[in-house]
Amino acid sequence: MNKNDLISQVADDSGLSKVDATKAVDSVLDNIAGALGNGGEVRLVGFGTFSVSHRKATTGRNPRTGEAIQIKASNQPKFKAGKALKDAVN
């Protein structure tokens, strides 16, 4: 399922027009990204938790040359599935 499929499904399930469903889906995704961008987390009970993981700077190797390179510290989005989602999949 891609974003357009999700929008169509939301429109069908909720009775919204595709334009309104697009606004709704985009708003949810933008708000999740905004909360994570501010260092917060988003908990959706039964679905899961979106959070930010901090990676430290490390030294890596270029596989072609074997040269040591610095890998910058970064923030990575992380998702942990909730029990209801795990049960639905299994």
For 9-64, the pLDDT digits (tens) are: 999 999 999 999 999 999 999 999 999 999 899 999 999 999 999 999 999 999 99
CATH of the domain at 65: 4.10.520.10
pLDDT of residue 90: 92
Q: Are residues 49 and 80 in the same domain?
A: yes
**Total of domains in the chain:** 2
pLDDT of residue 32: 96
**Token reading at 49:** 């938790």
Q: Are residues 63 and 29 in the same domain?
A: no
Q: How far is CA 1 from CA 4, 9, 45, 67, 77, in A?
A: 8, 10, 22, 41, 21
Q: Which domain holds residue 83?
A: 43-90
Q: Are residues 11 and 26 in the same domain?
A: yes
